[in-house]
């Protein structure tokens, strides 16, 4: 297996790095401070074709493939994982509609996502023990001409900014495991976005509960077929695991690079701390962790691109990085000593962001560890 990016993939990766330098680096600190949704950046992402990278050309996307998508997410996450959290959740919605949607659904939403005119949100998680079970579970009751949705989706990214939500609901009370996916316009009467969570990191990517208070949707709002929701959610969450692992690698790489640069200029005992073997060991191990994580990430992304089974490998990279990501940050912080602990340096933000990327989208009923263990 070749782990190197092709020439075309390298060009795409470089364009993401250039984009990050021009549009993300100048706002990353401010975004973290204000938590304001970065509308102007979303428009620029669309102008640079980053919102349709994963979608086929016939849908209006760039048809760049999943390896390129993951390389772009990693590159942008070096500067702002808040922005890539918005992109990933939007990509989950656009991929789901492009893959399982009717012609009318694709026509209505997919190009609008790619152009950045509509933000998408993908909402599986609920407050209960598992999606579909518990007092807040989203239920869809059949009416003559459609469904009435009642319940709450928890911790929805892009909530409040999204024009459309892909949600999963129980359509048969006797079979709560069999979820059905629905595409719901944000303007639907009864859809209420709760207060925005004051999250620890990834600030700028809004997260809130979304309440469906007897929301009426037409029959055409069903995505795919009735009771196909679990299959859709499982596949999209597996793809998201790879993309979220890419965020973690990007944040980790940014932390190592910053710590290495700091170590070269911080002088103690008359010489830069980068000359001390203990510091070199910390940096070398963190750089090694990033390198190996990237190989695992590319292997999983290549399986996706080749149309091969990838679910176990996706779970492996996500759960592996959940452990490794925080270690890279701890080691990088150690290198920077007291100064690295200061909010005037980037490591605290990266630390808080990596805690978020390892938590995203790991519902108890779609457990990464259990899927990863299935390969053993």
Ligand X SMILES: Cc1cc2nc3c(=O)[nH]c(=O)nc-3n(C[C@H](O)[C@H](O)[C@H](O)COP(=O)(O)OP(=O)(O)OC[C@H]3O[C@@H](n4cnc5c(N)ncnc54)[C@H](O)[C@@H]3O)c2cc1C
CB of 125 closer than 8 Å to CB of 131 = yes
24 binds ligand X (CB under 6 A): no
Alpha-helical (H) ranges within the chain are: 7-19, 28-34, 39-47, 66-77, 81-100, 103-114, 229-265, 277-305, 311-340, 347-357, 368-373
Whichever of 133 and 312 has its CB closer to ligand X, that residue is 133
Report d(CA 66, CA 83) in Å as an integer: 18
Do 246 and 299 form a contact (C-beta atoms < 8 A)? no
With beta carbons less than 8 A apart as the criterion, state whether 263 and 283 touch. yes
Q: Quick check: 120 binds ligand X (CB under 6 A)? A: no
Check residue 156 for interaction with ligand X (CB under 6 A). Answer: yes
Choosing from 27, 83, 125, 274, the residue that interacts with ligand X (CB under 6 A) is 125
Work out whether 123 is an interface residue with ligand X (CB under 6 A): yes
Least distance CB 352 / ligand X (angstroms): 10
Number of amino acids touching ligand X (CB under 6 A): 18
| Distances from the Cα of 144 to the Cα of 56, 168, 223, angstroms | 36, 20, 18
- Residue list 66-105, contact with ligand X (CB under 6 A): 89
Shortest Å, Cβ 190 to ligand X: 20
In the window 235-294, what residues touch ligand X (CB under 6 A)? none
Strands 146-157 vs 139-142: parallel, antiparallel or unpaired: antiparallel
Integer Cα distance of 364 and 272 in angstroms? 47
CB of 316 to ligand X, least distance (A): 17
List Cβ neighbours of 345 (8 Å cut-off, separation of 6 or more). 258, 262, 336, 339
Instruction: Tell me how far apart the alpha carbons of residues 285 and 32 are, in angstroms, rounded to a whole number.
Output: 28
Kindly tell me which residue out of 361, 368, 371, 372 binds ligand X, with binding defined by CB under 6 A: 361
| Segment interacting with ligand X (CB under 6 A) among 153-161, 251-259, 264-272, 340-348 | 153-161
Residue 364 makes contact with ligand X by CB under 6 A: yes
Of the pair 316, 360, the CB lying nearest ligand X is at: 360
Pick between residue 286 and residue 354 the one whose CB is nearest to ligand X: 354
User: Residues interacting with ligand X, by CB under 6 A?
Assistant: 89, 122-125, 155-157, 199, 202, 207, 356, 359-364
């Amino acid at each position: 297996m070749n782990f190197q990016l092709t020439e075309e993939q390298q060009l795409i990766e470089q364009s993401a790095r250039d984009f990050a330098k021009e549009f993300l680096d100048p706002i990353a600190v401010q975004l973290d401070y204000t938590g304001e949704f970065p509308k102007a950046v979303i428009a620029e992402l669309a102008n640079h074709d980053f919102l349709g990278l994963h979608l086929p050309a016939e849908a209006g996307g760039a048809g760049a493939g999943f390896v390129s998508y993951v390389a772009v997410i990693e590159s942008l996450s070096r500067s702002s994982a808040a922005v890539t959290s918005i992109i990933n959740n939007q990509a989950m919605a656009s991929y789901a509609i492009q893959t399982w949607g009717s012609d009318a659904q694709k026509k209505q939403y997919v190009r609008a996502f790619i152009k950045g005119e509509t933000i998408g949100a993908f909402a599986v998680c609920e407050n209960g023990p598992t999606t579909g079970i518990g007092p807040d579970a989203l239920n869809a009751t059949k009416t003559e001409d459609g469904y009435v949705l009642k319940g709450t989706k928890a911790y929805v990214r892009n909530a409040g900014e999204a024009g459309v939500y892909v949600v999963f609901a129980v359509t048969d009370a006797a079979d709560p495991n069999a979820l059905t996916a629905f595409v719901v316009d944000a303007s639907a009467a009864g859809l209420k976005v709760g207060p925005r969570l004051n999250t620890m990191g990834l600030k700028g990517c809004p997260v809130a509960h979304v309440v469906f208070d007897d929301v009426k949707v037409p029959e055409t709002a069903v995505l795919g077929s009735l009771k196909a929701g679990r299959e859709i959610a499982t596949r999209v969450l597996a793809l998201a695991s790879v993309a979220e692992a890419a965020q973690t690698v990007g944040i980790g790489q940014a932390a190592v690079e910053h710590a290495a640069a700091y170590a070269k200029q911080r002088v103690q005992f008359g010489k830069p701390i980068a000359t001390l073997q203990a510091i070199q060991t910390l940096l070398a191990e963190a750089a090694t962790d990033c390198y190996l994580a990237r190989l695992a990430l590319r292997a999983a992304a290549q399986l996706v691109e080749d149309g091969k089974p990838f679910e176990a490998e996706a779970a492996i990279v996500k759960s592996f990085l959940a452990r490794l990501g925080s270690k890279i940050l701890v080691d990088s912080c150690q290198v920077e000593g007291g100064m690295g602990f200061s909010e005037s340096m980037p490591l605290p933000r990266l630390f808080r962001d990596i805690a978020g990327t390892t938590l995203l989208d790991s519902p108890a009923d779609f457990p990464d560890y259990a899927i990863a263990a299935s390969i053993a």
